[in-house]
Amino acid sequence: MSDPSRSSTAAEWTTRDADVVWHGFTQMSVYAQNEPVIVDHAVGHHLVDVDGKRYLDAISSLWVNTMGHVEPELTAAAHAQLDRVAHSTMLGNGNRATIEFAERLAEIVPVEQAHILFASDGAAAVEQALKIAFQFWFNQGIHSRTSYLALGDAYHGDTVGSLALGAGGFGTELFDTLRFPVSRTPGYADPDWAEKAVRALTEYGDSLAAVILEPLVQGASGILVAEPADVRQFVETAQGFGIPVICDEVATGFGRTGAMFASEICAIRPDIMVLGKGIAAGYIPLSATVVANRVYETFLGEDLGERTFYHGHSFSGHALGCAVGLRHLELFVERDILSNVALSADHLTRRLDKDIAPLGPVAAVRQQGLMVGVELRATGDGSLTAGLAARRVCAEAVRRGVLLRPLGAVVVIMTPLSFDTTELDEVVDTLADSIAAVFETESA
Ligand SMILES: Cc1ncc(COP(=O)(O)O)c(C=O)c1O
């Protein structure tokens, strides 16, 4: 076999990739032209491509990574569990690693007497939540509460049920006919959203099985941030009507917003909480539907009876993921990760205020903890829409060694929780340079 040059090696990998791998949310006909990063391995906060080029992972591998890659303690926890057992089914049986993780998780979630049904992806855990809320009423002999109240701009995943709860967009309109009808009230982009949401509760209350929201931050819609008091008002009103509240903390959970869970900042106690992404530090696909006892206990009844929750996934409660998840929670305490998040978030605020927000092409900067959205404008000469400009800016940043990815016109910065200020500075400096490069090029 010939010894290919470094660049031809990367090109070869890209071709091999495009030949057989179908990438989500990606137009495959131009995939190769968009210079994808083909990862070979990682070192700490850097991904290293097949050419040996390093990229600072400023999107936490799509918001899942919390403490860097190949973190020795987490890798050791995974190895130790692999030597015991990788996975065994949760259907009718248990696993020591899953029990230990669930016990620890139940202690820290703001959910009353938590019971935890695991899954593998965020969307699957949302799906579980909506079905649990639905059956909760049937278990009590009430058959009229079969719909949901969800927010505008919401995103809850891509399975058909979670897509129905989400507000759509992202090119998913084609599937609108598959989505079941959901009552919707404006999201956090509307300053009066809470008042309108409370009014919607009065209007639809009797028909609702549950309400669902992303507490504090609507992530996928471009990091839209709510006032904690508004979230609390909405949630407590719903709970006052006896309607179960599902808090989707797939994106906000595990330290991103500054607290372990955004619900804590809002001082709310969800009836059902959905966790994913950072739950196992980004190592193993794992998600969870955390259910308060008042909901859970309605499912108790006779063996094989109709109160049983007839739902379960093959990889639910994966022991490897749970072993990593447990060590991950210990590291949060041992390393005082939340203090680092607070310091980093403050540093980031200062840098964004000084070096990003004043830039002409920047329409808005939104931040909650280590979740940041930088919304761009279209180029002045109209040659690039805001969405295309955001894509170009991210591509430029990637060329400069910082991995960023846009959501529409918004460049999202979502670093691992363990970044230091030098790394945060590199992200901000690279973003500023990339914005300048794209907007100067386009107006030249
Ligand atoms: C709030 C929220 N819920 C659910 C999901 C879906 O999670 P997954 O992609 O793991 O299915 C996401 C993904 O971004 C999310 O942000």
pLDDT tens sequence across 394-409 = 999 999 999 999 999 9
pLDDT score of 443: 53
The type of residue at 121 is D
Task: Kindly state whether residues 275 and 377 are assigned to the same domain.
Answer: no
Tokens representing 156 are 């809850």
- The answer on 224 and 367 residing in a single domain is no
- Pick from 165-169, 412-416, 433-437: least confident: 165-169
Partnered with residue 257 across adjacent β-strands are none
Instruction: With residue 387 as reference, give the H or E element that holds it.
Output: helix 386-399
Tell me how far apart the alpha carbons of residues 378 and 15 are, in angstroms, rounded to a whole number. Answer: 32
Q: Whose CA is nearest to atom 8 of ligand 1?
A: 122
| Other Cβ atoms within 10 Å of 379 Cβ, number | 20
Residue the block writes with tokens 């917003």: 257
Provide the domain limits for residue 411: 37-67+336-443
Domain boundary among 281, 316, 334: 334
Write the secondary structure of 296-329 as one string of H (helix), E (strand) and C (coil). Answer: HHHHCCCCCCCCCCCCCCCCCCCHHHHHHHHHHH
pLDDT at 3 over 60: no
Q: Angle at Cα 392 formed by Cα 372 and Cα 390, nearest 5°?
A: 35
Q: Please tell me if the CB atom of residue 408 comes closer than 6 angstroms to any atom of ligand 1.
A: no
Do 349 and 316 lie in one domain? The reply is no
Which residues on neighbouring strands pair with residue 16, listed in sequence order?
Answer: none
DSSP string, 215-251: SSEETTTT-EE--HHHHHHHHHHHHHTT--EEEE-TT
- Residue closest via CA to ligand 1's atom 3 equals 156
Residue-wise burial string across 318-340, b where 16 or more C-beta atoms lie within 10 A, e elsewhere: bbbbbbbbbbbbebbeeeebbeb
Residues contacting residue 272 through CB under 8 Å, at least 6 positions apart: 111, 129, 132, 133, 210, 244, 245, 246, 247, 289, 290, 291, 292, 295
Domain identity same for 326 and 192: yes
Identify the domain boundary among 302, 334, 366: 334
Ligand 1 centre to CA of 304 (Å) is 32
- Cα–ligand 1 centroid distance for 306 (angstroms): 30
Give residue 8's pLDDT: 62
Q: Does the Cβ of 211 fall within 6 Å of ligand 1?
A: no
User: What mean pLDDT is predicted for residues 232-250?
Assistant: 98
Instruction: Give yes or no: residues 221 and 305 share one domain.
Output: yes
* pLDDT value of position 1: 41
The number of helices, as runs of H, and strands, as runs of E, in the chain is 14, 17
Cα 351 to middle of ligand 1, angstroms: 28
Whole-angstrom distance, CA of residue 67 vs CA of residue 73:
10
Last residue of a domain, one of 294, 314, 334: 334
Q: 305 with 258, same domain? A: yes
Q: What percent of the chain has pLDDT over 90?
A: 94
Which pLDDT does position 12 carry in this prediction? Answer: 93
Please report which residue ranges of 51-94 form alpha helices under DSSP H: 60-63, 72-84
Q: pLDDT tens digits for 49-59?
A: 999 999 999 99
Mean pLDDT of 312-323: 97
CA pair distance 126, 162, nearest whole angstrom: 6
Q: Which atom of ligand 1 is nearest to the CA of 154?
A: 1
Going 178 to 271 to 151 to 186, the CA torsion angle's sign is positive
Taking the centre of ligand 1 as the mean of its atom positions, its distance from the CA of residue 222, in whole angstroms, is 13
At 89 the pLDDT is 97
Token pair of 436, please? 């300048």
Is 24 within the bounds of a domain? no
Confidence of residue 322 (pLDDT cuts 50, 70, 90): very high
pLDDT, tens digit, for every residue of 162-182? 999 999 988 889 999 999 999
Which of 159, 212, 277, 318 to mutate for ligand 1's pocket (most ligand atoms within 8 Å of CB)? 277
In contact, 281 and 83? CB cutoff 8 Å: no
Say yes or no: CB of residue 261 within 6 Å of ligand 1.
Answer: no
Give domain status of residue 151, yes or no.
Answer: yes
Q: Say how many Å lie between the CA of residue 287 and the centre of ligand 1.
A: 10
Count of domains observed in the chain = 2
Provide mean pLDDT across the span 324-350.
Answer: 98
Pocket test for ligand 1, best of 60, 118, 121, 156 (most atoms within 8 A of CB): 156
Q: Is the CB of 249 under 6 A from ligand 1?
A: no
Report if residue 19 sits inside a domain: no
The answer to whether residue 14 is domain-embedded is no
Beta carbons within 8 Å of 205's beta carbon, 6+ residues apart? 241, 243
82, part of any domain: yes
For residues 265 and 352, membership in a common domain is answered with no
Q: Is the pLDDT score of 212 beyond 50? A: yes
Closest C-alpha to ligand 1, atom 16:
251
Asked, for residue 263, whether it belongs to a domain, the answer is yes
Q: What's the mean pLDDT in 4-21?
A: 81
Buried b or exposed e, range 91-129, using 16+ CB within 10 angstroms = eeeebebbeebbebbeeebbbeebbbbbbbbbbbbbbbb
Instruction: Tell me the C-alpha distance between 104 and 99, whole Å.
Output: 9
Q: What is the mean pLDDT of residues 84-100?
A: 97
As a residue count, the chain comes to: 444
Mean pLDDT across 257-276: 98
| CATH assignment at residue 363 | 3.90.1150.10
User: Coil, helix or strand for 205?
Assistant: helix
Residue 21 resides in a domain: no
Question: Tokens for 306?
Answer: 């109709």
Q: Does 213 map to a domain? A: yes
Q: What pTM, to 2 d.p., does this model score?
A: 0.96
Residues 63 and 136 in one domain: no
Asked whether 150 lines ligand 1 (CB < 6 A), one says no
* Domain co-membership, 317 together with 353: no
* Confidence (pLDDT) at 442: 58
Q: Is the pLDDT of residue 6 over 60?
A: no
pLDDT at position 115: 98
- Clarify whether residues 108 and 183 are in a common domain: yes
- Shared-domain flag, residues 85 and 53: no
**Dist. CA 221–CA 364, nearest whole Å:** 14
- The CATH number that applies at residue 94 is 3.40.640.10
- pLDDT value for 170: 81
* 432 to 67, 349, 418: CA distances (angstroms): 25, 14, 22
CA of 278 to the centre of ligand 1 (A): 11
164 C-alpha to ligand 1 centroid (Å): 13
Taking the C-alpha atoms of residue 408 and residue 105, their distance in angstroms, rounded to an integer, is 34
pLDDT bucket at 380, cuts 50 / 70 / 90: confident
Both 365 and 217 in a single domain?
no
Mean pLDDT, to the nearest integer, of 133-151?
Answer: 98
